[in-house]
């Protein structure tokens, strides 16, 4: 028995025999995915727009789901939120399947391609997720090879010519210097109609189609055929496009005979800008340039040679192309050695061991396969001298022919040739390939679940380099995607810090970059990477701003409990990086920044404030003081815009417009009431002795969590308040004028204006403080002083006090800007300015004689959303953040994915549409982010700061 027991133990725990661990099963659907990739370039099933919209083809390839990244306002976490499902009309009487989707450069239009070669365009009409099919004037061309193998969106005029990037940030002492460049790289052809889209498609048979949007939004089509190169009749399997500096477009086409051909496409739009009502009548010209007779990965004995184009294919592998990319030339300064690069073609092949092809089981075909990237430079070379001699002879013979250039005036002729570079072998199969950062970086999604980045020129991996003195890209600074499960379809976000992953089940999952060097939640200011991370994220956000991209994906990779010190440092660096950009300065003590027009056009500043608000962590379940300040500020900017466009020109102020503005007027006067309430409470808490205790003032501001004193102490909010007071006074003067002017056509008009004025006064207990009336005017004052109300007078005096304090402390412009940023971002008043704070609290007491202090004390200002959890105000009370008023239970709404603000959908005939359209409120939230399709108020559940509602599908 013991012997038998020992035998059993040996069998159970013995190590005499090696344990064979079975290989991981192949990824389900990998064969089908690689077959799709080998058939053509147009097989993208996931697409992420620059506006933040996400499109995904369904499992059955008959519909497309639209979703976005949305932020939970209580926890600060980001997640995918479905918005809509669209089902396009497919070709071949509905039997076709969707094979490819692509967003336009600015993210407004979505092109959908089916396997029958039909293309339809859906437009996001002002709201993310609200898709409408665009009419199309098709030009039908019968061809045996209709399926689309190449697709390219044109740049958009004038946006594409002004886009830019912040290449890097370099530490200079305690500060950072940002290398920002505009108009990066060639743009290529653009639709001459302002903000009009256009794109090219290439079919398997070589038919080029140009689709371009007209003034009314419909698409028209022109076409031509690739010709002029040998063997053009061979079917094309892959194509890639790249813009060139002469406003032309280059195309690389790979056919089934393994030839790689390069063409140049010129577009003559035939459009008269002086007569914009006439549609363009474009024509296409195709010029062949170069070709590679045998395009394939090189054999092993050809590797490492400088010119290896003569090397044959590796006989031990069976290669099939999966991706073709054409990289336009770029000039990125430091990253390319201060010289312009040349156009580069990347052909990615899947190398399958020939032994694997003999296996009968098709599931094991790609078990040991891997990708190899073949590269070519497209270079200009001089023609041989003998050809130049023939040109001279021809010029001499035809010297009298009009228009012919004489030989002495001729330039040296050049032609384009493909120069083969060494191949790059990867560890697994490439399933997705993306050109990033203005053609300087490449993103690869691999079949083993890895996502890696490589530099354009060297093809080396971009990984953490440990350099904390100069930062440029997220991968170089230590951000990377953790190893994930294998997926078939991957799409990178606009800032390539988030990735969408989808398998055959059609479910989209979100993957985020993580900081691999350390934990972002544990960084402190003494660590060298603290400043590097702050500058890196600031430069990335700046690149998004000047590149017309969303920044929600950057916010999504930051932890919701980010340390307040790190959040403030990122915001400060962002304001510094954007201060050099037009309309991006936060220094409103500078006289050139003190105009209403500057403030209304400062979209860069608005985006910085919005990012700062979303970045600020919650404190004890409530907003931090700097987040409250940012929230109130960009809402006040919305009020100023509405007041400005409703009263300029003066005839715009009509009774139907005035009635739609009551909510905004109430909000503006409510902010004044809130400031007076909070400053009165602060004055009471400090007492008479505390007014001279500067440390006590700073501590009370921080403990109260109220942004009231900061709102009039920081130059930017104070200037905002002054502009608002001026516009309110203009509005009241126009109202008085209309009340006292009888109307011949409408006798009831005067009474309607009186009712409006009565409603305005009723909602503003501190009316005499906000508006100039005869009650408080001192007749002994000079006329120019009588034109200001007492609150504005105090704000003007405060401007002078602060300017003199800065001058007395010998503050330079940079020091003053830094002080303003610390007040706005960190809620810290400079010690040299604290004496003014005590004096200001004393002077504010003198304003009490202009209003009913008891009525102001009882004034309900909760609708301002200036403290606590904002979604209680926005959704529980059904609060329209644009009209600043409540909406009905059954109203359709739009919702901001970032700040959770809500806006009621405009109704036909609503007078508010006039000023909403001019100020851009129909397309973007007060925080500057795009609106998304909202929900119906059918089911509400309040949990302190967020309300979940049931989504209603679009009709």
Q: pLDDT tens-digit profile of 437-470?
A: 989 999 999 999 999 999 999 999 999 999 999 9
Structure tokens at 73: 């306002």
What is the pLDDT, as a whole number, of residue 362?
56
What is the pLDDT, as a whole number, of residue 397?
44
Rg (CA), the chain: 32
- Rounded CA separation 253/240 (Å): 7
* Chain position carrying tokens 């959303």: 865
- Rounded CA separation 233/250 (Å): 20
Nearest to 424 by CA among 542, 534, 527, 323: 323
Burial (0-12, 13-18, 19+ Cβ within 10 Å), 87: exposed
- Rounded CA separation 553/535 (Å): 17
- Give me the residues of the chain with pLDDT under 50, please: 1-2, 8-9, 12-14, 16, 19-22, 139-144, 228-232, 300-310, 333-338, 358-360, 394, 397-412, 774-786, 868-873, 936-955
Question: Side-chain half-sphere of 88: how many Cα atoms within 13 Å?
Answer: 30
> What's the helix, strand, coil split of the chain in %, to 5?
35, 25, 40
What is the pLDDT, as a whole number, of residue 43?
92
CA dihedral 837, 841, 842, 845 (to 10 degrees): 160
Where b means 16+ CB within 10 Å and e means fewer, 847-864 reads: beebbebeebeebebebb
What is the pLDDT, as a whole number, of residue 275?
81
Structure tokens at 530: 């603290």
Q: What percent of the chain has pLDDT over 90?
A: 33
Helix (H) or strand (E) holding 291: strand 283-292
- How do residues 294-348 score in pLDDT, each as one tens digit? 888 986 444 444 444 445 566 556 889 999 999 998 765 444 444 567 899 999 9
Structure tokens at 685: 């808490």
What is the pLDDT, as a whole number, of residue 584?
61
DSSP β-ladder status, 136-137 and 148-153: unpaired
- Rounded CA separation 380/412 (Å): 11
- Rounded CA separation 270/265 (Å): 16
The answer to whether the peptide bond before residue 649 is cis (omega within 30 degrees of 0) is yes
Q: Directed axis angle between helix 912-919 and helix 625-647, to 10°? A: 120
Where b means 16+ CB within 10 Å and e means fewer, 589-614 reads: beeebeebebbbebebbbbbbbbbbb
- Alpha helical stretches, state H, 616-714: 625-647, 655-660, 662-690, 694-704, 708-713
* Chain position carrying tokens 């053009």: 232
What is the pLDDT, as a whole number, of residue 591?
61
């Amino acid at each position: 028995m013991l012997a038998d027991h020992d035998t059993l133990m040996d069998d159970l725990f013995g190590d005499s025999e090696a344990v064979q661990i079975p290989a991981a099963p192949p990824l389900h659907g990998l064969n089908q995915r690689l077959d799709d990739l080998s058939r053509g370039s147009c097989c993208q099933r996931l697409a992420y727009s620059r506006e933040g919209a996400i499109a995904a083809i369904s499992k059955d390839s008959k519909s497309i789901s639209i979703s976005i990244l949305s932020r939970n306002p209580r926890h600060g976490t980001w997640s995918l939120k479905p918005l809509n499902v669209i089902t396009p009309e497919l070709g071949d009487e509905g039997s076709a399947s969707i094979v490819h989707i692509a967003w336009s450069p600015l993210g407004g239009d979505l092109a959908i391609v089916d396997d029958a070669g039909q293309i339809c365009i859906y437009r996001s009409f002002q709201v993310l997720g609200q898709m409408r099919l665009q009419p199309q004037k098709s030009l039908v061309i019968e061809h045996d090879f209709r399926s689309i193998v190449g697709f390219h969106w044109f740049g958009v005029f004038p946006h594409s010519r002004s886009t830019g990037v912040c290449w890097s940030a370099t530490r200079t002492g305690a500060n950072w210097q940002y290398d920002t460049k505009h108009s990066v790289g060639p743009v290529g052809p653009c639709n001459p109609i302002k903000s009009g889209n256009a794109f090219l498609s290439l079919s398997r048979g070589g038919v080029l189609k140009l689709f371009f949007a007209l003034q009314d939004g419909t698409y028209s089509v022109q076409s031509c055929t690739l010709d002029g190169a040998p063997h053009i009749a061979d079917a094309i399997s892959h194509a890639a496009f790249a813009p060139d500096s002469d406003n032309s477009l280059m195309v690389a086409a790979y056919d089934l005979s393994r030839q790689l051909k390069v063409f140049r496409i010129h577009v003559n739009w035939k459009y008269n800008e002086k007569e914009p009502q006439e549609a363009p009548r474009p024509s296409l010209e195709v010029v062949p340039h170069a070709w590679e007779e045998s395009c394939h990965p090189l054999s092993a004995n050809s590797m490492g040679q400088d010119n290896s184009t003569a090397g044959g294919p590796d006989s031990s592998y069976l290669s099939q192309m999966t991706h073709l990319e054409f990289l336009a030339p770029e000039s990125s300064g430091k990253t390319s050695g201060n010289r312009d690069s040349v156009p580069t073609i990347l052909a990615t092949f899947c190398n399958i061991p020939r032994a694997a092809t003999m296996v009968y089981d098709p599931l094991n075909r790609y078990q040991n396969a891997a990708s190899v990237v073949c590269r070519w430079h497209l270079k200009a070379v001089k023609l041989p001298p003998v050809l130049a001699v023939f040109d001279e002879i021809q010029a001499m013979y035809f010297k009298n022919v009009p228009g012919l250039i004489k030989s002495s005036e001729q330039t040296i002729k050049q032609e384009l040739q493909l120069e083969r570079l060494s191949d790059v072998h990867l560890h697994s199969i490439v399933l997705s390939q993306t050109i990033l950062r203005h053609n300087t970086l490449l993103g690869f999604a691999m079949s083993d679940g890895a996502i890696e980045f490589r530099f354009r020129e060297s093809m080396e991996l971009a990984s953490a380099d440990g350099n904390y003195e100069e930062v440029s890209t997220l991968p170089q600074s230590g951000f990377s995607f953790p190893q994930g499960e294998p997926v078939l379809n991957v799409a990178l976000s606009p800032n390539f810090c988030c990735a969408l992953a989808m398998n055959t089940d059609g479910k989209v999952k979100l993957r985020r970059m993580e900081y691999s060097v350390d934990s972002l939640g544990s960084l402190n200011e003494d660590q060298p990477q603290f400043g590097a991370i702050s500058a890196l994220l600031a430069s990335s956000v700046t690149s998004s701003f000047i590149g017309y991209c969303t920044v929600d994906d950057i916010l999504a990779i930051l932890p919701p409990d980010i340390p307040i010190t790190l959040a403030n440092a990122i915001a400060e660096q962002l304001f510094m990086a954007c201060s050099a950009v037009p309309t991006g300065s936060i220094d409103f003590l500078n006289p050139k920044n003190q105009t209403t027009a500057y403030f209304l056009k400062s979209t860069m500043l608005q985006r910085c404030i919005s990012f700062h608000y979303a970045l600020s962590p919650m404190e004890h379940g409530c907003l931090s003081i700097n987040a409250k300040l940012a929230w109130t500020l960009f809402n006040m900017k919305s009020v100023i815009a509405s007041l400005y466009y409703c009263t300029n020109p003066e005839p715009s102020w009509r009774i139907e417009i005035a009635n739609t503005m009551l909510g905004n007027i109430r909000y503006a006067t409510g902010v004044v009431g809130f400031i007076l309430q909070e400053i009165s409470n602060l004055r009471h808490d400090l007492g008479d002795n505390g007014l001279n205790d500067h440390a006590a003032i700073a501590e009370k501001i921080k403990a109260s969590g109220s942004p009231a004193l900061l709102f009039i102490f920081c130059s930017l909010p104070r200037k905002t308040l002054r502009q608002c007071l001026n516009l309110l006074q203009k509005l009241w003067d126009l109202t008085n004028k209309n009340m006292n002017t009888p109307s011949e056509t409408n006798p009831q008009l005067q009474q309607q204006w009186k009712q409006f004025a009565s409603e305005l006064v009723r909602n503003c207990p501190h009316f005499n403080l906000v508006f100039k009336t005869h009650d408080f005017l001192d007749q002994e004052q000079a006329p120019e002083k009588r034109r200001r109300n007492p609150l504005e007078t105090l704000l003007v005096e405060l401007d002078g006090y602060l300017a003199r304090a800065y001058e007395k402390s010998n503050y330079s412009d940079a020091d003053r800007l830094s002080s303003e940023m610390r007040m706005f971002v960190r809620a810290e008043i400079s010690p040299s300015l604290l004496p003014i704070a005590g004096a200001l609290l004393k002077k504010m007491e003198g304003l009490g004689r202009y209003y009913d202090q008891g009525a102001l004390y009882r004034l309900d200002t909760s609708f301002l959303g200036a403290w606590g959890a904002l979604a209680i105000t926005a959704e529980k009370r059904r609060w329209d953040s644009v009209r600043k008023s409540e909406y009905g239970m059954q109203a359709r709404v739009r919702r901001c994915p970032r700040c959770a603000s809500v806006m009621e959908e405009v109704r036909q005939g609503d007078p508010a549409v006039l000023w909403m359209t001019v100020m851009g409120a129909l397309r973007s939230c007060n925080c500057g982010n795009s609106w998304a399709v909202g929900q119906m108020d059918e089911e509400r559940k309040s949990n302190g700061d967020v309300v979940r509602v049931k989504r209603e599908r679009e009709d």
